[in-house]
């Protein structure tokens, strides 16, 4: 009798272990972003999920044919349903480095499935994920459907945060169809109460502004992010640009600001495995905790809308991922090298773009200083950094033992 009970207990333990492992696996595909006094997150509404997850470029090439880009036939949403569009390059919570996709914000930010989403060109859905979302309290919710669309062997787009898919498409994808044909203008799903995230990835292009592309193998498409608007034509192009607050080329935004031997761009805490983060790092952290994969990320780069503004983004600022704006864009981080020694930036509140944002309209210069960051470019593609909360550049002149070293 005693032996039988032990066996039953072993079975229960085994089942619990399986559940824990499966939960961890599901968690890998769901990156959660935070709200703080500094950040209002993309996605909008009640969804607090970072948009991209796993996938491989080779898996996307299933049954592909041809090469090179295509010209898109129509917008992914009726533009009468869109309030505004945010270009690539945004910073937001767990998105510590410039974001590699755009945000189409529907006018209806209350109702789920409020607006249809369309195929922009004939293609094939070659990757699909129905991962659910993590809310601010960590509970799962529906409305985080992601698809990758193949046009040629080297040109793709992706849609994320769809709240639903066309039932026929959903049925085929749930059954494992890895090459589902769609036609330009076809309704493929719906979105509401949150943004539609989208982008184009051109595998014939490798962005020149990443000093070390190998640091991004966790998201291999990132270094192939192209200017979304480049592949549309009028009248759709002009209508989309009218909803885009960025008024300088490239209109689709920019994410690669590294300059070899200079301060500008993305940095990763030494020993933390680049963009992927430490092995085993938490990819389901709620509220922007620095325990996430992004905890070792750091970026200093121009603003997504107004490149005259310099933003500073921490994967770990007092335990959370947090963004600021430099009160002065000088010295220009693209020009700061080893010969410049320690440089300082006073940091003020960071404001994300909205429907009312216009280049030059952000009032960052009138904001009170919340912190100062000290940085020094070192030889060997390294950088030393330390921040001081509640201090200004007049209060601090040198590093302490708390300073950390970053690399590309």
Instruction: Report the alpha-carbon distance of residue 343 to residue 375 in Å, rounded.
Output: 5
- Residue 135 confidence (pLDDT): 34
Topology of the domain comprising 36-407: Glucose Permease (Domain IIA) (2.70.70)
Instruction: Report the alpha-carbon distance of residue 303 to residue 61 in Å, rounded.
Output: 34
Instruction: Report the alpha-carbon distance of residue 221 to residue 240 in Å, rounded.
Output: 24
Q: Where are the domains of the chain?
A: 36-407
* Residue 223 tokens, joined: 């270094």
Instruction: Report the alpha-carbon distance of residue 330 to residue 256 in Å, rounded.
Output: 20
Closest CA to 159 of 136, 130, 134, 183: 130
Task: Indicate the pTM of the whole model.
Answer: 0.85
- Residue 358 confidence (pLDDT): 66
Residue 272 has phi, psi (to 5 degrees) of -110, 20
Residues 86-138 pLDDT 10s: 999 999 999 999 999 999 999 999 999 999 999 999 999 999 998 764 433 34
Residues 287-324 pLDDT 10s: 789 999 999 999 999 999 999 999 999 999 999 999 99
- pLDDT tops 90 at residue 389: yes
Residues 195-242 pLDDT 10s: 999 999 999 999 999 999 999 999 999 999 999 999 999 999 999 999
Cα four-point dihedral sign 260, 261, 264, 266: positive
Closest CA to 343 of 402, 396, 381, 265: 396
* Residue 13 tokens, joined: 């333990």
Instruction: Report the alpha-carbon distance of residue 154 to residue 247 in Å, rounded.
Output: 28
6: left (phi over 0), alpha (psi -120 to 50) or beta: alpha
| Long-range contacts of 328-332, Cβ-Cβ distance < 8 Å, separation of 24 or more | 328/365, 332/264
- Residue 287 confidence (pLDDT): 78
Q: Which residue has the tokens 């970072």?
A: 50
């Amino acid at each position: 009798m005693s032996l039988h009970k032990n066996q039953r207990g072993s079975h229960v333990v085994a089942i619990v272990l399986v559940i824990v492992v499966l939960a961890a696996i599901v968690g890998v595909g769901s990156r959660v972003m935070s709200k703080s006094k500094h950040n209002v997150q993309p996605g909008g509404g009640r969804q607090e999920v970072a948009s991209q997850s796993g996938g491989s470029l080779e898996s996307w090439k299933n049954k592909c044919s041809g090469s090179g880009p295509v010209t898109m036939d129509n917008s992914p949403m009726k533009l009468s349903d869109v309030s505004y569009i945010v270009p690539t390059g945004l910073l937001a919570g767990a998105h510590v480095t410039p974001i590699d996709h755009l945000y189409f914000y529907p006018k209806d930010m209350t109702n789920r499935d409020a607006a249809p989403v369309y195929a922009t060109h004939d293609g094939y859905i070659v990757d699909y994920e129905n991962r659910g979302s993590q809310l601010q309290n960590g509970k799962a919710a529906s409305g985080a459907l992601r698809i990758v669309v193949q046009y040629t062997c080297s040109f793709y787009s992706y849609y994320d945060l769809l709240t639903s898919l066309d039932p026929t498409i959903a049925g085929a994808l749930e059954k494992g169809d890895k090459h589902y044909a769609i036609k330009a203008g076809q309704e493929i799903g719906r979105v509401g109460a949150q943004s539609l995230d989208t982008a184009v990835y051109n595998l014939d292009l490798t962005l020149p502004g990443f000093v070390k592309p190998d640091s991004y193998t966790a998201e291999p498409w990132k270094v192939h992010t192209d200017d979304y608007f480049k592949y549309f034509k009028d009248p759709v192009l002009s209508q989309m640009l009218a909803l885009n607050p960025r008024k300088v080329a490239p209109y689709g935004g920019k994410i690669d600001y590294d300059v070899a031997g200079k301060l500008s761009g993305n940095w990763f805490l030494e020993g933390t495995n680049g963009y992927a983060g430490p092995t085993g790092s938490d990819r389901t952290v709620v509220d922007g905790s620095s325990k996430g994969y992004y905890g070792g990320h750091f970026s200093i780069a121009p603003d997504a809308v107004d490149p005259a503004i310099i933003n500073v983004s921490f994967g770990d600022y007092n335990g959370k991922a947090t963004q600021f704006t430099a009160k002065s864009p000088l010295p220009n981080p693209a020009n700061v090298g080893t010969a410049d020694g320690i440089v300082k930036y006073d940091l003020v509140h960071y404001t994300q773009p909205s429907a009312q944002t216009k280049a030059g309209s952000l009032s960052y210069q009138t904001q009170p200083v919340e912190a100062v960051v000290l940085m020094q470019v070192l030889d060997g593609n390294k950088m030393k950094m330390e921040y001081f909360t509640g201090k200004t550049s007049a209060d601090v002149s040198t590093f302490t033992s708390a300073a950390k070293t970053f690399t590309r």
